[in-house]
Structure 1
Amino acid sequence: MTTSIPAPAPSAATPATRERMPWLPLISLAAVGFVLLSAETMPAGLLPVMARDLGVSEGVIGQFISIWALGTVVVTVPAITYTQGFRRKPLLLGALSGLVLANAVTAVSSDVVIALVSRFVGGAFTGILWGILAAYGRRISPANSGGLALAVVATGAPVGFALGTPLGSFIGGIFDWRWSFAGLSALGVVLVGVIAIIVPGLAGQPRAHRQPLRRVFLLPGIPIVLLVIFVWMLGHNTLYTYIAPFLRDSGSGLTADLVLLVYGVASIGGVIVTALVIDHHPRLLLQASIAVFILAAGVLVAEHASPVAVLLAAGLWGLAFGGASPQLQSALSIAGGAQSDLANSFLPVAFNLAIFAAGLVGAVLLNVSGGLILGAFMAVLGVAALALTIAGRETFSART
């Protein structure tokens, strides 16, 4: 009697040999991005009700966002470095579970100090998730569709901007702010179950292939990509953070919620465009996105008093910046090569450093010149980012 020997299972370390796009796993990873972004920004839409319920000022509640960013900056790179050898799926599920728990503590806490600590912990887990999501999406997808996979995974962030934060604000206004956080935690629990069932497992980095953090940071292309991230994000977030005073000084009569809604919806279009183009013309796509970003800033400066022009600029702004994350994650992944997880861990750090800097720079600019200067600052930083992509054209023209 002969015994048939089953064919060996495909290696978890090399799932990029798949021929079909794993749409459902990619969508579930995108949903994780939605939870991350919504959890980070939700306090912005709930400032008054949270401040009133916790008996503190709105400025203190504003620190719920800052301390989240601090947790991301402090923890991401060391955590990703330490966990290079961990299997990716348990790490993904563990970090998501930690985020859900931290968010739930925020929802039930009546002590602002405990709530702030939970936000720091949530930001730390978020940094780990941002550090592995991009490479995860690429590794479970066909090798020639890495950019498309990144674009799908990255869709969650702009959807969080467009729908997650406003929805949380709506729920908090009708019921209680705690229900907004609880609802997000409930969605996270569902995602833990879905990912456990449908997302393929991945091996960690073999010890022989790991490199020291400093060496990865200095890999050709990594520094200039990070510099583009910081400069472009600083220009974006300075105006995004202080859009209300800009609109107040513009004379357009528009409200921040309407402008940001237009921006958020348009940013989803930016992700779609990115998904269609990124695997074929990555450098052209990135430079065109930054050029449209500069155009949007120019319209805001030149036609700030026109409601139609401002809304048009908001649409161009969202279209240009909506695909920024997958475009830059793709560039980091390509430059990082086998160290793509560690390379991508630098991205949330650069983003959150820019967020922190934007708060400070924007406050100084407002005190010195008023809200209108923010549009000009956005344009100047856009030009600087475009110049950097031209200087590093070899890095940004690499194909996935």
Structure 2
Amino acid sequence: MTSAEPSTGTAAPSPATSDAASAAGQKLPLSALLALAVAVFITSLTETLPAGLLPDMSAGLHTSESATGQTVTIYALGTVLTAIPLSAATASWPRKRLLLTAMAGFAVANTVTALSANYPLTLAARFLAGVAAGLAWALLAGYARRMVAPHQEGRAIAIAMAGIPVALSLGVPAGTFLGQVVSWQAAFLAMTALTVVLLVWITAVAPDHPGQETAGKIPLRRTLRVPGVTPVLIVTLVFVLAHTLLYAYIASFLDDIGMGDQVDAVLLVFGVACLISIWAVGTCIHGHLRTLTVVSTLLVGVAVAVMGAFSGADAPVYVAAALWGLGWGGVPTLLQTAAGQAGGEAADAAQAILVTLWNVAMAAGGIAGGVLLNAVGADAFPWTVLILLVPVLAIVLAARSHGFPATHTSANS
């Protein structure tokens, strides 16, 4: 999900837990949910921060910028390789302890990254950060859902996922600024300091929930046979691939159309629109998941069409960025919720697979985007994204009974 984007190892809540959530009525545990949002912010920013610090990191590590750029790739690789097996191995752990362990991993990884002048050691630290991200992403959505009553699940996930656009629109520019004014090491140490504060925050306010009674191998085949799970996972893979193609190379695209000096402004518009989208999805998702997913897909489609057709003028590109953010901002919440509801008793396995596919799609988007840029040119990005969105919309519309149902079903598991 970015890392994402995106409740592995969660068990069905006990009657006492369900009663407590119901008794809470409309009151959301905002302090605990905001702690999860900060955790999402840290995972997202840790992944993408090297992109804004690349020249200085390269000089400090005595490597080329292309080699230093692999610190982002190795992070994604750590998540892809370990999310499913580690989520299965830690399925019986209490949720609070597991989250604290994952975030402590970020503190160690970012500290080592800041202090290391050795390229292999830096890669090892970044791999550890990716492992921590795999654990965190597979846990966070389910943790948020279990803090609230069933009708508040979508809103709770939306609050937790708000950390993604904040990291992309504000965190990366702030980290880049700190790296330029002080040093790139200071940016990573600031992440460590924030993580330490978060560890205290989680310890103080986050409720605990038990894991599964037994841990073991995640049943991939059985999970994929659950009605609705496969459509959600395919939509996740293709939608994230489409988004990443454009987002990873937005600077190249804007430079190609003569807006290379406005990258920060375009991304700021995108980020603000993402926040609005998250709020809207969190407010309306209960009973409207299918409609919101269709609308999100259409908004991103219209955005890239405008971007491709009117790339000769600045104003339409800003309008397209706003539409893109409005469409994309709520997607992590929508897909996490859809996977949890479709998975039912297999929600933990569905979430672990989703996290893995999300990171596979991000890595594939970066690679495919580079190939597309060299082979065709930056002007091909919007139209390629538009083509990829066609099967996304078709699958969402077809999965009317399961996956993206016309009626709401809760799966607070």
**Given the two structures, how large is their TM-score scaled by the length of structure 2?**
0.91
Shift of residue 162, structure 1, vs aligned partner: 1.1
C-alpha separation in 1, matches of 2:259 and 2:220: 48
1:51-92 alpha-carbon deviations (Å, 9 max, x no partner): 112111111111111100000000001111111111111111
C-alpha separation in 2, matches of 1:380 and 1:181: 38
Partner of 1:396: 404
Partner of 1:5: none
> SS of the counterpart of 1:46?
helix
% identical aligned pairs:
38
Shift of residue 216, structure 1, vs aligned partner: 2.0
1:205-237 alpha-carbon deviations (Å, 9 max, x no partner): 133999733312332111111110111111110
1:346-397 alpha-carbon deviations (Å, 9 max, x no partner): 2221111111111221122112211000010111112221111011122212
**Which letter does structure 2 place at the counterpart of 1:33?**
V
**Which letter does structure 2 place at the counterpart of 1:396?**
F
> SS of the counterpart of 1:207?
coil
> SS of the counterpart of 1:85?
coil
**Which letter does structure 2 place at the counterpart of 1:215?**
R
Partner of 2:146: 139
Shift of residue 166, structure 1, vs aligned partner: 1.0
**Which letter does structure 2 place at the counterpart of 1:74?**
L
Shift of residue 192, structure 1, vs aligned partner: 0.7
Partner of 1:125: 132
**Which letter does structure 1 place at the counterpart of 2:318?**
L
Partner of 1:304: 311
Aligned residues: CA RMSD:
1.8
Q: Is the 8 A contact 1:16 1:140 kept in 2?
A: yes
Q: Is the 8 A contact 2:79 2:130 kept in 1?
A: yes
Partner of 2:297: 290
C-alpha separation in 1, matches of 2:272 and 2:53: 21
Change (3 A) 1:175 1:108: same
Partner of 1:148: 155
C-alpha separation in 1, matches of 2:380 and 2:41: 31
> SS of the counterpart of 2:378?
coil
Partner of 1:238: 245
Shift of residue 164, structure 1, vs aligned partner: 1.0
Change (3 A) 1:169 1:367: same
Q: Is the 8 A contact 2:301 2:389 kept in 1?
A: yes
State yes or no: 1:273 paired with 2:280. yes
**Which letter does structure 1 place at the counterpart of 2:84?**
V
Shift of residue 304, structure 1, vs aligned partner: 0.7
State yes or no: 1:165 paired with 2:142. no
Q: Is the 8 A contact 1:237 1:358 kept in 2?
A: yes
Residue range with higher mean Cα deviation, 138-147 or 10-19? 10-19
Partner of 1:86: 93
1:92-138 alpha-carbon deviations (Å, 9 max, x no partner): 11111112111111111110110011000110111100001000000
> SS of the counterpart of 2:69?
helix
1:292-312 alpha-carbon deviations (Å, 9 max, x no partner): 000001001100111001111
**Which letter does structure 2 place at the counterpart of 1:376?**
W
1:163-201 alpha-carbon deviations (Å, 9 max, x no partner): 111110010000000110010111111111111111111
C-alpha separation in 2, matches of 1:214 and 1:108: 43
Q: Is the 8 A contact 1:127 1:348 kept in 2?
A: yes
Q: Is the 8 A contact 1:253 1:307 kept in 2?
A: no
Shift of residue 255, structure 1, vs aligned partner: 2.8
Shift of residue 18, structure 1, vs aligned partner: 4.3
Matches within 5 A, 1:197-212: 197-207=204-214, 212=219
Residue range with higher mean Cα deviation, 335-344 or 158-167? 335-344
Shift of residue 253, structure 1, vs aligned partner: 5.5
C-alpha separation in 1, matches of 2:116 and 2:377: 37
Partner of 2:223: 216
Change (3 A) 1:376 1:254: farther
C-alpha separation in 2, matches of 1:146 and 1:15: 14
State yes or no: 1:334 paired with 2:341. yes
Deviating runs (4+, > 6 A) in structure 1?
208-211
**Which letter does structure 2 place at the counterpart of 1:111?**
N
**Which letter does structure 2 place at the counterpart of 1:40?**
E
Shift of residue 16, structure 1, vs aligned partner: 3.8
C-alpha separation in 2, matches of 1:123 and 1:210: 21
**Which letter does structure 2 place at the counterpart of 1:54?**
L
C-alpha separation in 2, matches of 1:323 and 1:126: 20
Partner of 1:26: 33
State yes or no: 1:174 paired with 2:211. no
Q: Which runs of 5+ in 2 are unaligned?
A: 1-13
Residue range with higher mean Cα deviation, 258-267 or 224-233? 258-267
Q: Which runs of 5+ in 1 are unaligned?
A: 1-8
C-alpha separation in 1, matches of 2:216 and 2:191: 37
> SS of the counterpart of 1:84?
coil
State yes or no: 1:54 paired with 2:61. yes
Partner of 1:4: none
C-alpha separation in 1, matches of 2:375 and 2:82: 34
State yes or no: 1:100 paired with 2:107. yes
**Which letter does structure 1 place at the counterpart of 2:33?**
L
**Which letter does structure 1 place at the counterpart of 2:287?**
H
Partner of 2:268: 261
State yes or no: 1:65 paired with 2:72. yes
> SS of the counterpart of 2:148?
coil
